[in-house]
């Protein structure tokens, strides 16, 4: 049996001091800060203090550096981390505990955290449940909801009760799979450790991770070695391991502290390609390949591709051997879902998928003018160092007050600052932008006289997620039809494993995007990946321009763009479909089209 350890809202469960592991440590501190924010909100504490803990948790979770390697001054650059939180990070790395967290959690029953993990239940509702019905567990919550007792509480109606039951089902499903942004760094860290500690020849990730699925159930790793037993010994002895399910000569399985199972297979190098194809999947794709093989008189398995009549081995050292023998061009892992890729390959019409190196800029970036960590110049120079030609600074507008959103006058001041910085830069440009809030009625949060001065107006929803399908659709459609709106950001509002997409008619949204010339964003933040692959493919089919953006609030988050590219590739997107593959001159020309 796999030990089920819940993967919480912000990462892993507390109480597992794995400070010698980069991502474990970052995620554990993120978990603690997220839970402290929940409990402080439950107590009715200072909202700015609560927001700082949440921002720090969100940014620590995707931080690409080990927190213990950062100086106290560097820690202060993480959004939400002031002196008090920096001291707590240091305390955890030195002692494995945070005293303030220990004291705070002792004030509440442990089950409170499970209640807070249910989508749609906030601290105020948890307080009602606890004080009136003494509910402290998910079992008690579900029982009371099914018995109709929750609607007897103040401000809880029958619809709220039904939403809570939906949230419980969503939570159960979410615990079976984990967001790729949390799993991939762990998998890559395991691979890196094995490269240091085991006698490997080759090693590669397989499974849904290699296909860049947005959620992952477990981790599959393949390797070749002349001493597989030594590889297995190193594998089962890795620091993050909490349980060894199997320990064999060529295959072992372990469980990490998050409840994730990791399978490692050592295969013969003459079969590595076939094994990689087989264990990458998907199951549906592999079934189609086997059907093709049978028709042609071949047989495929993880050891290679064979002629049926005399079992002669025709290939398997390279993954491409399988496809070539079947008369197909190589099919990229992201496409292997049996959603038309076999037919496209047979017709020689496979897309030439967009690559990370194709991107020339990022059109959704935040600075310290709102809730980002860095000055405009700092983040611009970091983007240039990474090879970009431009960014759009798109800080929040005034409606999102908790982020320090900008007023009209502040936007005008920022325009002047961008002009000043642009004069200092060579070979790089900063586009003037804003992430403007879409109000509940579809109106924008800033006056047209200001929006007209900007290069990029990114419209987005940050509140009112529970509007009806018709209301939400009308809201987005109205915003997209505004002649000054350039792009719709994270269009469905989902947070993978935490919050379902709000109800919206995406067919109508995409039709409006096509009609109005509005760019649709693929937000690369790994808990968003919004648009998802299906909507991205539909947008491509309608000829709608798309952008892959990081929504970066700290310079490290530029690294998250790979998740957006992975999602875009799963959506069959090519370089020509993504507008931030354009050079600066052509991009500026493109952006001016809607305003004419």
Task: Give every CB contact of residue 423 below 8 A, 6+ residues apart in sequence.
Answer: none
Average confidence (pLDDT) over 50-69:
82
pLDDT at 24 over 70: no
For 356-591, which CATH class?
alpha beta
Query: Phi-psi bin for 302: left (phi > 0), alpha (psi -120 to 50), beta?
Result: alpha
pLDDT band at 43 (very low <50, low <70, confident <90, very high): confident
pLDDT at 1 over 60: no
Give long-range contacts, CB 8 A cutoff, 24+ apart: 107-114.
107/39, 107/43, 108/39, 108/42, 109/136, 110/136, 111/136, 111/137, 111/138, 112/39, 112/42, 112/136, 113/8, 113/35, 113/38, 114/138
Distances (CA, A) of 81 to 74, 195, 476: 10, 34, 34
- Gyration radius of the chain's alpha carbons: 25
pLDDT at 348 over 90: yes
Q: List, for residues 521-538, the tens digit of each pLDDT value.
A: 999 999 999 999 999 999
Q: List, for residues 550-596, the tens digit of each pLDDT value.
A: 999 989 899 999 999 999 999 999 999 999 999 999 999 999 987 76
Domain limits, the chain: 22-174, 178-266, 271-346, 356-591
CATH number of 271-346: 3.30.210.10
Distances (CA, A) of 453 to 73, 139, 391, 393, 524: 36, 55, 17, 13, 27
DSSP 69-104: GS-HHHHTTSTT--HHHHHHHHHHHHHS--HHHHHH
Average confidence (pLDDT) over 188-215:
96
Give me the helices (H) in 524-583, please. Answer: 533-541, 561-570
Task: Give every CB contact of residue 183 below 8 A, 6+ residues apart in sequence.
Answer: 209, 216, 219, 260
Cis peptide before 282 (omega within 30 of 0): yes
pLDDT of residue 390: 98
Average confidence (pLDDT) over 360-365:
98
For 22-174, which CATH class?
mainly alpha
pLDDT band at 21 (very low <50, low <70, confident <90, very high): very low
pLDDT of residue 17: 33
Least confident interval from 119-128, 317-326, 571-580: 119-128
pLDDT at 49 over 80: yes
For 178-266, which CATH class?
alpha beta
pLDDT at 8 over 70: no
Average confidence (pLDDT) over 23-47:
84
Q: List, for residues 152-183, the tens digit of each pLDDT value.
A: 888 788 888 888 888 888 777 656 788 999 89
Task: Give every CB contact of residue 269 below 8 A, 6+ residues apart in sequence.
Answer: 201, 202, 224, 317
pLDDT of residue 526: 94
């Amino acid at each position: 049996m796999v030990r089920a350890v819940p993967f919480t809202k912000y990462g892993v469960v507390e109480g597992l001091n794995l400070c010698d592991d980069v991502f474990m440590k970052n995620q554990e501190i993120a978990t603690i800060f997220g839970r402290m924010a929940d409990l402080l909100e439950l107590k009715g504490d200072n909202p700015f203090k609560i927001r700082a803990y949440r921002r720090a948790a969100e940014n620590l979770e995707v931080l690409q550096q080990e927190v213990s390697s950062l100086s106290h001054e560097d820690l202060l650059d993480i959004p939400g981390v002031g002196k008090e939180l920096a001291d707590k990070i240091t305390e955890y790395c030195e002692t494995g505990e945070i005293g303030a967290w220990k004291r705070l959690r002792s004030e509440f029953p442990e089950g409170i955290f499970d209640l807070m993990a249910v989508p749609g239940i906030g601290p105020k509702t948890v307080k009602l449940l606890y004080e009136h019905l003494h509910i402290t567990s998910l079992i008690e919550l579900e029982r009371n909801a099914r018995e109709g007792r929750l609607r007897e509480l103040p401000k809880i109606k029958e619809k709220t009760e039904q939403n809570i039951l939906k949230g419980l089902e969503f939570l159960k499903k979410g615990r079976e799979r984990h967001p790729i942004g949390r799993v991939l760094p762990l998998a890559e860290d395991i691979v890196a450790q094995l490269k240091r500690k085991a006698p490997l020849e080759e090693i590669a990730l397989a499974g849904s991770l290699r296909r860049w699925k947005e959620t992952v159930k477990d981790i599959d790793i393949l390797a070749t070695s002349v001493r597989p037993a030594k590889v297995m010994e190193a594998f089962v002895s890795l620091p993050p391991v909490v349980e060894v399910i199997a320990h064999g000569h060529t295959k072992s399985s372990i469980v990490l502290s998050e409840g994730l199972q990791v399978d490692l297979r050592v295969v013969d190098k003459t079969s590595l390609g076939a094994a990689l194809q087989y264990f990458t999947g998907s199951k549906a794709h592999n079934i189609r390949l086997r059907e093709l093989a049978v028709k042609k008189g071949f047989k495929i398995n993880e050891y290679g591709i064979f002629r049926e009549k005399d079992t002669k081995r025709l290939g398997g050292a390279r993954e491409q051997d399988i496809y070539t023998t079947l008369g197909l061009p190589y099919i990229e892992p992201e496409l292997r879902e049996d959603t038309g890729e076999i037919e496209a390959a047979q017709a020689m019409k496979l897309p030439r998928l967009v690559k990370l190196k194709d991107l020339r800029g990022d059109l959704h970036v935040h600075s310290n003018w709102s809730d980002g960590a860095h000055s405009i110049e700092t983040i611009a120079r970091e983007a240039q160092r990474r090879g970009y030609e431009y960014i759009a600074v798109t800080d929040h507008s005034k409606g999102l007050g908790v982020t320090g959103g900008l007023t009209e006058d502040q936007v005008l001041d920022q325009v002047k600052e961008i002009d000043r910085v642009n004069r200092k830069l060579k070979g790089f440009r900063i586009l003037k932008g804003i992430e403007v809030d879409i109000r509940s009625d579809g109106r924008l949060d800033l006056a047209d006289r200001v929006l007209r001065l900007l290069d990029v107006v990114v419209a987005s929803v940050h509140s009112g997620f529970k509007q009806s399908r018709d209301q939400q659709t009308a809201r987005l459609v109205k915003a997209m039809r505004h002649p000054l709106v350039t792009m719709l950001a994270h269009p469905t509002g989902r947070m993978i494993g935490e919050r379902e997409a709000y109800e919206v008619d995406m067919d109508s949204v995409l039709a409006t995007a096509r009609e109005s010339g509005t760019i649709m964003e693929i937000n690369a933040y790994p808990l968003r990946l919004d648009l998802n692959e299906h909507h991205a493919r539909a947008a491509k089919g309608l000829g709608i321009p798309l952008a892959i953006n990081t929504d970066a609030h700290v310079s490290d988050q530029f690294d998250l763009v790979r998740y957006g590219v992975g999602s875009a590739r799963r959506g069959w997107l090519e370089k020509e479909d993504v507008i931030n593959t354009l050079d600066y001159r052509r991009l500026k020309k493109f952006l001016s089209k809607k305003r004419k």
